[in-house]
Amino acid sequence: MVYRELLSVGEETVISPTWRIDLGGCSLRCLFCSEWAQVVQPHAAPALRFSADWFLPHLYQRNKQGARTISFVGGDPTVSLVAVLEVLAQVPDDAWLPVVWHCNGWLSDEARALLAPVVETWAVDVKFGNPQCAQRLAGVDGLKNDREVTRTLEFARSRGLLLRHLALPGHLACCTRPVVAKLRRDYPEIPLNLRSHYLPLGPARTASLARVPELKRLLSDVEMAELVSLGADATASKRQLEAK
């Protein structure tokens, strides 16, 4: 189910302008998710069924408007894998645009293999820096989360990879710093997008989630300054690597 589409210039420069397609559903239930309604109720309005009849006319329109890539986003698009592959199989060669797969890293070996011939760039959101936060904020097995994300990163590394991390209030020490350190150490050549745009939407706004009070606020000025510093350090490290 697709609930939003637009020509986006707000993604990384190597993929923008991109035709962004937001698909309902996800394999995680993150309490900080800004798309919560579409994640838990993917068939709710204004969602439409993702089909070739919907996709192809929009593709031609966005192509004419300057789209360089197609970005499948969510939620997480992997839960809609079968529908996406069925539709892409009907795209004529002269209308094809490179596909960018924006995901949380939770893919099976079979899913990765099916997407390999189709996806040119993998944009992977590395969310958590430790198993405890993965369990507390997303309700998943933290060790399995780290294992699956790492498998996807290794799979995508030689194919075209973008790394992302959304900084959360109260989680720079436990999540952001460890994530940045790991990615700088293990994937120094890969672009890293540290995102500072967290807003307390979805479940994070409800009184019933008092167990995560830190998610009910924005990043503080101190946290924002540290995030900028971490981003500058990561950029400097990448430039030093390229210079070698």
Sequence ranges of the domains in the chain: 2-243
- For residue 105, say if its preceding peptide bond is cis, omega within 30 degrees of 0: no
DSSP strand pairing (2-8 vs 18-23):
antiparallel
Q: Are 200 and 215 in contact (CB under 8 A)?
A: yes
CA angle 155, 125, 218 (to 5 degrees): 170
pTM above 0.85, yes or no: yes
Q: What is the pLDDT of residues 148-164, one digit of tens each?
A: 999 999 999 999 999 99
Nearest CA among 106, 2, 139, 116 for reference residue 57: 2
124: Cα within 13 Å, side-chain hemisphere: 30
Is residue 239 scored above 80 in pLDDT?
no
| pLDDT band, residue 209 (cuts 50/70/90) | low
What's the pLDDT band for 240 if we cut at 50, 70, 90? low
Mean pLDDT (the chain, rounded): 92
What does the pLDDT read at residue 211?
75
pLDDT in tens, 1-58: 999 999 999 999 999 999 999 999 999 999 999 999 999 999 999 999 999 999 999 9
157-203 confidence digits (pLDDT tens): 999 999 999 999 999 999 999 999 999 999 999 999 999 999 988 78
* CATH class of residue range 2-243: alpha beta
Nearest to 102 by CA among 195, 170, 201: 195
